Amino acid sequence: MMIKKFLNNIPKNKKLVLELGIGDGNLIKSLSEKNHDCYFIGIEIQEDYFIKAKYNIKSQNVMLLNCSFEDVLPLFDDESIYKIISVLPDPKYIDKNYRHEWEIFYSIVYKKLLKKGLFILITEITDELFQPVSNNYFYKEVDNLKQVFQSIGFNILNDFEGYQENYMTSFLQIFNRDPKRIRIINFEFTKN
């Protein structure tokens, strides 16, 4: 109920950007400082991260929520969000073993995006034994993910390996120390 009240305060004249699982909030901080035409909502379930983010972020165009994005996302109108960002989602939201659960969640992500809206997903590909990830394995996993997101309805605008400055986070900085065993795939999905 409280959260619903917060949502009434979203300015209507700005493009709405949602970040799921912001961690310490470094990404949403830098995006909100650079993009004044957007209004950012960052959602983080862990209180210690949320408090850290709240302390670090001073921009006026940001709202931070300490709750589960699974509870918040359904509250938005369909086709109301310009961009949704997820960087290094927990396994529960991307691992193939939990696919049947997370597929339902990403179909809600799809529903809430505006037509032509963007879903940025940056995730890691690791080997089950945590050995260096071969190209074969990497591209097979990437193809599997592409197929799932396409079956939800997303179009793939872009997919590429590595780190991009625009979407750098604290966890990505740590993962970057082990690029052979933790390979990073960036997806830019869109909705028709």
Contacts with ligand SAM by CB under 6 A lie at 21-23, 43-46, 49, 68-70, 87-88, 90, 169-172
Are residues 132 and 181 in contact, defined by beta-carbon separation less than 8 angstroms?
yes
Q: Which is nearer to ligand SAM, 155 or 164 (CB)?
A: 164
Q: What's the min distance (Å) between Cβ of 159 and ligand SAM?
A: 18
Region of residue 153 (phi > 0: left; psi between -120 and 50: alpha; otherwise: beta):
left
Whose Cβ is closer to ligand SAM: residue 16's or residue 73's? 73
**Residue 182 CB, nearest approach to ligand SAM (Å):** 12
- Closest residue (Cβ) to ligand SAM? 21
d(CA 141, CA 39): 33
Tell me the closest approach of the beta carbon of residue 142 to ligand SAM, in angstroms. Answer: 19
Element (H, E) at 105: helix 99-112
Element housing 99 (H / E) = helix 99-112
Least gap, CB of 52 to ligand SAM (angstroms): 10
Q: Is 56 helix (H, G, I), strand (E, B) or coil?
A: helix
